[in-house]
A = this chain, B = another copy of it.
Amino acid sequence: MLKKIAIFGVGLIGGSFALALKKAGAVEQIVGAGRNSATLQRARELGIIDVIASSVADAVAGADLILIAAPVAQTGAILASIQPHLQAGTIVTDAGSTKSDVVLAARAELGDKIAQFVPGHPIAGREQNGPDAALADLYVGKKVVLAPMPENAEQDVAKVAAAWQQCGAHIHRLSAQQHDAIFAAVSHLPHVLAYALVDEIANKPHAESLFQYAASGFRDFTRIAGSSPEMWRDISLANQDALLHELDAYLLQLTRLRGLLAAGDGAALEAIYGNAQRARHGWISAIEAAEKQNKEGGD
């Protein structure tokens, strides 16, 4: 049982972490901190946090674990504010969607306390945000990536892992660089592609008649273009190198496909489409098998 957890940013991600740990009986007290007092008040009303910290020093004092779940662009500033008050024995982790930039910020801001920071990224979300969107079971069966640094002690990484496991999550370990390369390909690039398509269509003179005929395929394809522009601006810039790498590979792929289409090469197009269909089908089957296993394991 942890005595005290401090959470900076008590929205969907931080709030769900709090609710899950409370439900698991894994913590005595949860203290909320953040810039938005209305959000903090709401989180206390909803029973997500027990106390609103009166200051950063107050939030950090005596905490076993600190989670930073604010927008990723604020991580550096929050770490800087925590640093002077950070006691030995307190572990800090985060929930940011990018990791190399967070590691850089942590090294810059925490200095000789860097070993107390264990970078993390829970792979879960909803379309809604804020404390009202928080769910005790948001992380059940979901992945949490931890990206330990060479400085981290194994017991500190295990402490963070244990907290997420209490939330029902599965722990995966990657280096910050591996993490950012993987998520550039399977998450950040698709977001950029979806934003680019909707912006492109919205800017056409006949946008209205185009949207009028867009159907369910377009709706699913562009769902992620409904995400927060600020958040995705920050992620794009934070993971600039890996995202540029994936974007260039995709531009090459699309240019190749354009050539096949212009040449009327139906067999080559069908081979690409067929390879994609098979790969996606295999992936979906693997997900469904894993979900089934999770369910059976939980019975």
A residues with a Cβ closer than 8 A to B are 123-125, 143, 145, 172, 182-183, 185-187, 189-204, 207, 209-211, 213-230, 232-234, 236-237, 240, 243-244, 247-251, 253-255, 257-258, 261-262, 264, 266, 269-270, 272-281, 283-284, 286-287
A293 to chain B, nearest CB (A): 15
A29 to chain B, nearest CB (A): 32
Q: Are the CB atoms of B261 and A243 closer together than 8 Å?
A: yes
Q: In the complex, what residue of chain B is closest to A182 when comparing beta carbons?
A: B213
Given A218-B186, A233-B273 in contact, is the A258-B254 Cβ separation under 8 Å?
Answer: no
Contacts of A226 in B (CB 8 A): 277, 280-281, 284
Contacts of A264 in B (CB 8 A): 237, 240
Contacts of A197 in B (CB 8 A): 189-190, 193, 250, 276
Contacts of A223 in B (CB 8 A): 217, 220-221
Q: How far is the CA of A228 from the CA of B188 in the complex (A)?
A: 26
Which of these, B182, B196, B278, contacts A210 with CB under 8 Å?
B182
Q: How far is the CA of A209 from the CA of B199 in the complex (A)?
A: 31
Given A213-B143, A261-B243, A283-B214 in contact, is the A269-B236 Cβ separation under 8 Å?
Answer: yes
Q: In the complex, what residue of chain B is closest to A218 when comparing beta carbons?
A: B186
A233 to chain B, nearest CB (A): 4
Q: Are the CB atoms of B200 and A217 closer together than 8 Å?
A: no
Q: Are the CB atoms of B225 and A247 closer together than 8 Å?
A: no
Which of these, B202, B261, B283, contacts A279 with CB under 8 Å?
B202
Contacts of A224 in B (CB 8 A): 217, 220-221
Q: Are the CB atoms of A257 and B196 closer together than 8 Å?
A: yes
Given A220-B223, A237-B266, A264-B237 in contact, is the A210-B198 Cβ separation under 8 Å?
Answer: no
A–B pairs, 20, beta carbons within 8 Å: A125-B215, A145-B213, A187-B214, A189-B197, A190-B221, A192-B257, A193-B197, A196-B257, A196-B276, A198-B276, A199-B272, A199-B273, A200-B250, A202-B276, A202-B278, A203-B275, A222-B280, A226-B284, A233-B269, A247-B257
